[in-house]
Structure 1
């Protein structure tokens, strides 16, 4: 039978054989990619985060993804330094965590990234002095009150976005990195956005998307710079998650198949810490990323612009 098959191949034109080989290689490539995605997303074991250190710092930790990260890290046995602007909310979240995880130590740092970020980071530096901080979750971030064309965005609004998303992330990273360098271990997770990586553009949220592109590039560079020091830097790129900030873009805080609750996102995100320089932790988000990349950029741009224009008049506080 094999000899008959071989004889049959010899009778085929060379271009058919070439196309068959290319088709086989294409199928093989996509099969390997699918198997790799399944392994990474569902089967690969998460790292033991306590090996990085016994404490974690989480910014923007009183709501949404940041709060969900805090509970997940406490479940993994890490002590927490919670950073947010509202001291009352910080105390409430700290109390919630210690009720469920009584052995978890929690420190709180009231830091308003909109005003006095330099002075606020000094308070954080005092809080982490001599503390074995192994994990940093740079989650804090803001966007506009509503979709707006670039020329319509109030200067104070876009300066706030730059101050929080760009300056805040950079200063906190520098503050925590020093101790990690001394101990030669650590994991830094910067929360980026699909607005800057997955889709080719994010019209009517231009400055927000640009600051998140900065976070992505900063993370990639730091990943290369500090890998040999035992410090793993990662940019996580979620798409929509059911949080208050996302409600400003999609006018809903309800979860769907492609808009998970913050708790579901954080559960998936914890599994990816310490691996790739950039990742999209939630499985449905990575499927969206794949399908978006199959479309022409012009089509995606037009679709995103139409969505932005429909939401332009909607202000969510």
Structure 2
């Protein structure tokens, strides 16, 4: 009798977890391939993007511009920012852009806030996407990470996201709507540890916890906060929305 009871419990648990797994798979397929994208302009007519002159950040800029959003471009190189602005204007005649020059390695948190607050004053900011980030050039043990690289990882991967978010949140709170997206990494969400990339993975864990906690804090203000795993987000960024 005891054996039959145990087998029954095992059977019920197996069915339960199998059902949850199948449900997750079906939901994932729906989200990635079939779910229509949200109307991003419902958050506001302007989006703020860091790390926007190259790679994933640049691709996101043009994707958002194609959806009708005006863009505040944040980066350290004025010439690159200008080039992206010109290209946006060439492709999308009705889209406005604004360049804000910030070097996350050199500027303090207070300076970042000052530049952003001045740059977005009077704009209907709806979305902030923190893309800027630094990684190891090659795998290395933690004790081999030199001072310059350590400083860069902490300043760009942690400080920039923290201060950018702090600067934009008040606008979203006043409007009672907004979306903040932080580009994370599989090193903080998928694999249990990241040996030889320890400090990089740790900065992304900070971003992950920051995003999750802010989501709980500010959902009552209509502000969505997400962390997007980069390796997956690269395939389909608008999956978030």
Per the normalisation by structure 2, the TM-score is 0.92
CA distance in 2, matches of 1:15, 1:210: 42
Partner of 2:213: 221
1:108 and 1:26, CA in 2 relative to 1: closer, same or farther beyond 3 A? same
Q: Which runs of 4+ in 1 moved over 3 A?
A: 13-27
2:167 alignment partner in structure 1:
175
Distance 1:145 1:30, change over 3 A: closer
| Alignment correspondent of 1:311 | none
Give the equivalent residue in structure 2 for 1:232.
Answer: 224
Q: Aligned pair 1:272/2:227, yes or no?
A: no
Counterpart of 1:271 in 2: which secondary structure? helix
Among 186, 189, 192, the residue aligned to 2:184 = 192
> In structure 1, what is the equivalent of residue 42 of structure 2?
51
Separation in 1, partners of 2:151, 2:6: 59
Alignment of 1:90-129 (within 5 A): 90-117=81-108, 118-129=110-121
C-alpha distance in structure 2 between counterparts of 1:51 and 1:239, whole Å: 27
SS across alignment from 2:129 = strand
Q: Is the 8 A contact 1:61 1:83 kept in 2?
A: yes
CA distance in structure 2 between the aligned counterparts of 1:82 and 1:107, rounded to whole angstroms: 6
Q: 1:16 to 1:154 in 2, by over 3 A?
A: closer
In the alignment, is the contact (CA less than 8 A) between 2:31 and 2:239 conserved in 1? Answer: no
Measure how far apart 1:110 and its partner are.
Answer: 1.3
Q: Tell me the CA shift for residue 190 of structure 1.
A: 0.7
- What's the CA shift for 1:18? 5.2
Partners of 2:196 and 2:20 lie apart in 1 by 37
CA–CA distance in structure 2, aligned partners of residues 233 and 20 of structure 1: 39
Q: Which of residues 61, 65, 68 in structure 1 aligns to 2:59?
A: 68
CA distance in 2, matches of 1:156, 1:237: 26
Matches within 5 A, 1:1-317: 20-117=11-108, 118-239=110-231, 262=234, 265=235, 268-273=236-241
> Cα distance 1:181–1:23, how it changes in 2: closer, same or farther (>3 A)?
closer
List gaps (5 residues or longer) in structure 2.
none
Q: What's the secondary structure of 2:100's corresponding residue?
A: strand
Contact 1:195 1:239 in 2 (8 A): no
Answer with 41-50 or 169-178: which moved more.
41-50
1:177, distance to aligned residue in structure 2 (A): 0.7
TM-score with structure 1 setting the length:
0.71
Shift of the alpha carbon at 1:17? Answer: 5.3
Q: Which has the larger radius of gyration?
A: 1
**Cα RMSD for the two superposed structures:** 1.8
Counting matched residue pairs gives: 237
